[in-house]
Amino acid sequence: MIEKTYLKTKPECKVKFALPADKIGEAKSVAVVGDFNNWDSEANPMKKQKSGVFASTISLEVDTSYQFRYVLDGTEWLNDDMADAYVPSPISPDTNGVIRL
């Protein structure tokens, strides 16, 4: 799930990335990675909420597209069903999600 909240005072959008418990399975850690954090799985860990959903909110620049994915337990890569588009990954046969702001 992706929620976009555009700021009126700055050219930024607060993007909430969230994964429901049924997508995560037994994973202990979840991170959102992408162009915005140099694909660093330590940069934006997602926090488990009371509902079981893992979520993280990141401020991103508007009028930009970013590639992203989720990393579960540092090893399993997952796309978001709500991405705006998908593009081939430059480093694997997988696809990356795209968010357009």
Domain boundaries, the chain: 2-100
User: Residue 90: is its pLDDT beyond 90?
Assistant: no
Enter the pTM of the model.
Answer: 0.93
* pLDDT over threshold 90, residue 5: yes
The domain defined by 2-100 folds into Immunoglobulin-like (2.60.40)
Which of the four pLDDT bands, split at 50, 70 and 90, describes residue 91? confident
pLDDT of 94 reads 92
Measured at the CA of 71, the angle between CA 6 and CA 76, to 5 degrees, comes to: 150
pLDDT tens for 52-75 read 899 999 999 999 999 999 999 999
